[in-house]
Amino acid sequence: MNAKWKMIGSLFTTFLKMGPFTFGGGYALIPVIEREIVEKRKWLQSEDVADIVAVSGSVPGAVAVNSATLIGYRIAGIGGALSALLGIFLPTFALMIGLSLVYVQMKDNPKIEAAFLSIRATVVAMIVYAAFKIGKTAIVDFASGALAAIAVCLLLFGRNFLHPAWVIVFGALAGIAVVKVRVLLGKKTKLEEKEPVYDYMI
């Protein structure tokens, strides 16, 4: 029990430190999650984080908040989910209140405008890096690469009439269809079964 509460506390402090890096949305946070959760603390593997981010982006809500909640639950159950959620939410909430007050007062300041322009450029780089990291774990064969390419085309050329949620539905149905076709052809599909790193689930 003490180990579980210690883990819950560690989740809170870890996501509390990550909270200020949510500029640009949850996808910009992925490199930070990779460094803290996968590389530094070794709580999860890169494939786990990629799966969690994919699920977080396909359900309602902010990607950063959804990802933190799912990661917390994956590691330490409901208590972990709540602690990670509070950790990611509190600094973001405080920063947004502070930045809103500052922005109203200084929005026409050339230095402030230049700072936000630089932040946007940096966020683009972080999102591209996150896409590269997730792509390495998600695109594992020709079929997954083809599905990714089709999804990109649908998002680029169908943005005026196709909601992104339908692209996610297409991906899920296409994945199921690919597996069924492989079964009919007698080919095996390697679906990884990962063991949880910590057994604190409740």
Stretch (H or E) spanning 129: helix 110-138
Q: Using a CB cutoff of 8 Å and minimum separation of 24, what contacts does 67-73 make?
A: 67/26, 67/29, 67/30, 67/33, 68/15, 68/18, 71/11, 71/33, 71/37, 71/43, 71/44, 72/11, 72/15, 73/201
Q: Is the dihedral of CA 178, 184, 190, 191 positive or negative?
A: positive
* Model confidence pLDDT, tens digit, residues 140-160: 788 888 888 888 888 888 877
Q: Domain residue spans in the chain?
A: 2-138, 139-202
Cα–Cα distance, 53 to 60 (Å, whole number) = 13
CA dist., res. 83 & res. 156, Å (int): 37
Q: Half-sphere exposure (CA, 13 Å, Cβ side) for 66?
A: 17
Dihedral (CA of 119, 124, 125, 129) sign: positive
Answer yes or no: is pLDDT of 94 > 50: yes
Q: What is the pLDDT of residues 40-79, one digit of tens each?
A: 888 998 888 888 887 887 777 778 888 889 999 999 999 9
Q: In which band, very low, low, confident or very high, does the pLDDT at 23 lie, cut at 50, 70 and 90?
A: low
What integer best gives the mean pLDDT of the chain? 79
The mean per-residue pLDDT over the stretch 124-151 comes to: 79
Whole-model pTM: value is 0.61
Contact in structure between 18 and 88 (CB atoms under 8 Å): yes
